[in-house]
Chains A and B, each alone.
Chain A
């Protein structure tokens, strides 16, 4: 009898629990649909951010987060590419070496610190301080002195004319940080309150996700989205199916094999536009035999780029030059330069260089989908000319520091050009002063340095573009990189998420995003 009673009680209890759970489930379901429900965005990314401080990072995954938390003085219009003021009010350029920048008033950092000329000075001086070892110090290298005549005026004095100052100031890595937050803690790990942007950093679970929440007091008007989660999903197939099922709201950089599927999904909007990124095979010029032009020419001759591009379903464009078609400085005559696929010629060049029977080399790359696919292809192509390639895939952050420190022999990389100007590729990648930072090639050539400086310092735009054209031809002929393909940027967004515009550098902003 007693036993019976007990089992009865338990079953009643169970029924009660299940019913409660069901109701709870319904509850959350209905609240999701009502307009007052919090609007959340889940963005999926293959790689985790390296850090959260604009001063200390230089990679797309970090940038995506940094753009929501911090802001730059100027910004590029996503449609026209024109430079417009953001935190700045305007600028004056009394002489080629002086930039007077007026700042917007009444803007506060998320931690309450007022945004003023001191904050700008603090940020830029920190970037320029060699002790900081900022990976993008190159953006401000021409700046000699920073003055703050009043609270809302910053004067940048340059050593030599810096023709592309405004595009540099629109670069994410020159976002202004709150001096108070930066002094108080490591904003590279915890960026709470450190920016002026529309979202406030909330938490970072390394390897899993980063969350930012709405900044109600945002000077440009509070965003409609309550929180954004940047979820790390290293597996592309998983990321794609998360967007398909609605578990995630968006991703950028759709791999070719998933493009059709996402396009055919009625709930997903795919944007595809020619980008300015380039995916390349790079060499470490400090390691033999890659300092030898003939070896590099042989390698370019040995790689059938058209064949690889044919596998990309339209997500890659062939251009022989290092400066691609979407960048300032491109000129179509570059297509008659570079080295065509010709295995016999490659073998001959290798023999001339003194390696008739080939050599052994390692190819280092970050183990993301894109490079994991390219690497075995390069390996097989170079095998034909007896270059025995060992693949060395590494975790993304590890790859960056490995390449930076000059340990790699050959490496695969991609360069998304944030400013859209060819200079923003040549200077960071090939200027000798950036060895140990962004010059992974460790390329050190005084003649090239002089040309690169001209592409930065010339104020006359036509003349500057002419220098870029010359540099493109010279560097392509010298095979500083083998440009494998030039990118097409893609973005897949759930149809109910609106207001996100993809830019040709693959970036976007969440400022105007909202859900229907």
Chain B
């Protein structure tokens, strides 16, 4: 008895040691991947801007001044010009970053809570697998942003509803990814060992299996952030998301369209901001996948 306890303790120590070296190893591999570093840089840059929005934005993004409307890039006092109500475009872009990140993280978190849970249950319990996966299949059958669109039409417009809609839309794919990993992990010796030791299903799921799914969840969530931000912007572009006067990139691009011949920057700059953040998350996700893949030790 005493022996086995000490063995276990040793094991824990070893795991801890392994963990820190693992993170170092991942970081080392991530650093080597140039696109991933660029992605990480973009994301950090946008995150800092979003955090410091009230400090760094030159104007109140909601303050209208119709005498100074539709100014171009480089106008006096407004580096990126002004929109159709004379609101400072730079300030609105900065506040838009805030909203995009919040929407992205919240909706992915929403999707993760339910998606991971469903994935775990479905992967572990064969009996639940059929029914859960069929429901997931139905959800997956909706093409692209259509499902989110349908949910928003039911819930009504607004940012919170967009978060819920994009979150729900994220559930099926997350569940699928987690289920796949669980199916693989549950055949591992240490799971069999845990079962033999009489651990409860709950403990096995959350202490043995879930931690080992983390890398695929992290990779997938990062990529998903890009999709979530893009679809939230799409919904706002279609007028279903952020309502005026909220500074949201998709909505800004949408209203700017009316002025595309006089002031193309009203559409192009928010569009460019969306491209930037989506590219950032995608390339970071790509890099993370390579870095976290245990089969690519020598990269």
Contact = CB atoms under 8 A, between A and B. Distances in A.
A257 B259 contact: yes
A266 to B, nearest CB: 17
A380 B85 contact: yes
Contact of B258 (A255, A304, A391): A255
Interface in A101-131: none
A253 to B, nearest CB: 14
Interface in B68-93: 69, 84-85
Interface stretch (B29-37, B238-246, B270-278): B238-246
Contacts of A92: none
B245 A379 contact: yes
A373 interface: yes
Interface stretch (B42-50, B59-67, B108-116): B59-67
A373 B256 CA distance: 11
Given A376-B245, A380-B85, A310 B66 contact: yes
A369 B62 contact: no
A380 B245 contact: yes
A289 interface: no
B186 interface: no
B70 to A, nearest CB: 8
Contacts of A258: 258, 261
Given A261-B261, A376-B85, A377-B85, A391 B243 contact: yes
Nearest to B243: A391
A391 B262 CA distance: 27
B64 A367 contact: no
A236 interface: yes
A285 B85 CA distance: 30
A311 interface: yes
A384 B67 CA distance: 17
B62 A380 contact: yes
A376 B260 CA distance: 19
A307 interface: yes
Contacts of A375: 244
A237 B260 contact: yes
Contacts of A307: 66-67
Interface in B222-271: 239, 243-245, 255, 257-262
Contacts of B66: 304, 307-308, 310-311, 377
Residue of A372, A376, A383 with highest tally of chain B CB at under 10 A: A376
A237 B258 contact: yes
Interface residues of A, number: 25
Nearest to A308: B66
A490 to B, nearest CB: 16
B181 to A, nearest CB: 44
A379 B262 CA distance: 25
A236 B258 contact: yes
A321 B260 CA distance: 35
A237 B62 CA distance: 25
Contacts of A373: 84, 258
Contacts of B84: 257, 311, 373
Interface string A388-399: 000101000000
A377 B69 CA distance: 12
B244 A391 contact: yes
A304 B86 CA distance: 14
B262 A311 contact: no
Interface in A241-277: 255, 257-258, 261
A380 B60 CA distance: 12
Contacts of B257: 235, 237
Contact of A376 (B67, B244, B261, B262): B244
A511 to B, nearest CB: 33
A380 B258 contact: no
A381 B85 CA distance: 11
Interface in A287-315: 304, 307-308, 310-311
Given A310-B67, A377-B64, 19 more contacts: A235-B257, A237-B258, A257-B261, A258-B258, A258-B261, A261-B261, A307-B67, A311-B69, A311-B84, A367-B239, A369-B258, A372-B244, A373-B84, A373-B258, A376-B245, A377-B85, A379-B244, A380-B63, A380-B64
Q: Which 5 residue pairs across A and B have the least CB separation, nearest first?
A: A376-B244, A380-B64, A307-B66, A376-B245, A237-B257
Interface of A: 235-237, 255, 257-258, 261, 304, 307-308, 310-311, 367, 369, 372-373, 375-377, 379-381, 383, 391, 393
26 contacts: A236-B258, A237-B257, A237-B260, A255-B258, A257-B258, A257-B259, A261-B261, A304-B66, A307-B67, A310-B66, A310-B67, A311-B84, A367-B239, A372-B255, A375-B244, A376-B85, A376-B245, A377-B64, A377-B85, A379-B244, A380-B62, A380-B64, A380-B85, A381-B64, A383-B62, A393-B243
